[in-house]
Structure 1
Amino acid sequence: MSDLFRLFNTSASALTAQSVRLNTVASNLANASTAASTPEAAYKSKQVLFQTVLDQEDPDGVAMPVRVAGIVDADAEPFPSYEPNHPQANNDGYVFRPAINVVEEMANMMSASRSYEANLQVMDTTRQLLQKTLQVGQS
């Protein structure tokens, strides 16, 4: 029975992590076309770093929770775009846009969404198993 609770805990941690990932992708997509007058001021895409958490009570690593270890800026440099009429244009007429690949971000969003859905299904199945276990115990 404690294995089912550990599994519940692992899925819950994965849901939280995927939720952070979805929010980060949404932020990247929302800022994909923003402009800045300097490369330093341009938005940098964010990436979520995950880390598994070793459970001392689970030496076999059957149910290893995951946590968000951090959110880091991507290394890609913003690209200059010549737009002299843009309100953010510098003295040379350039604005700097973030190096965000919208197609990659959409694929990342679909992956996070599917992982989220899979963990919801695991939690639902675990809940059903716990209910059946309680019903057998009452008989």
Structure 2
Amino acid sequence: MSDLIQSLALSASGMKAQANRLRYVSENVANADTPGYRRKLSTFEEEMSLGEATGRVQSGPVRLDQSDLEVIYDPSHPLSDATGHYDGSNVDLMIEVADARQAHRSYEANLKMFDQARQMTSSLLELLKR
């Protein structure tokens, strides 16, 4: 029985981590036109308990993408320098869409695992009642 409950915890941690990843993707999309904005990258770490790996995953620290910012020419922009250029963001919407799809699919896979473990636990309890 504890293995089934452990599998519920594993899939729930995966869903939580992917939901957090989707949050960063949505922040990146929302700030795609913000001058000087650097894309946020989500990392994952294995959860530790009493110095041992639990198998669960958690969101790690947020990293900022250090790739070059897009240089935009617009002399009328208030942030432009003497040459008429300013730094845009380094968010690529195609990459964000791909990341969102991947996070969504991973979330759905964890949800299916959670549902399977829940159904198995329910069936086991029904058998024990007899």
Structure 1 length-normalised TM: 0.85
2:110 corresponds to which of 119, 123, 139: 119
SS in 2 for 1:86: coil
Matched ranges for 1:21-100 at <5 A: 21-35=21-35, 42-54=36-48, 64-100=55-91
Q: Report the number of matched residues.
A: 129
Structure 2: stretches of 5+ with no match in the other structure: none
> Percent same amino acid among aligned pairs?
31
SS in 2 for 1:70: coil
> Could you say which residue in structure 1 is the equivalent of 2:20?
20
Amino acid at match of 1:64: G
Amino acid at match of 2:55: M
Measured after TM superposition, the shift of residue 70 of structure 1 is 1.0
Separation in 1, partners of 2:117, 2:78: 55
Measured after TM superposition, the shift of residue 115 of structure 1 is 0.6
Separation in 2, partners of 1:54, 1:71: 19
Structure 2 length-normalised TM: 0.90
Separation in 1, partners of 2:99, 2:22: 8
Measured after TM superposition, the shift of residue 100 of structure 1 is 1.7
Measured after TM superposition, the shift of residue 105 of structure 1 is 1.1
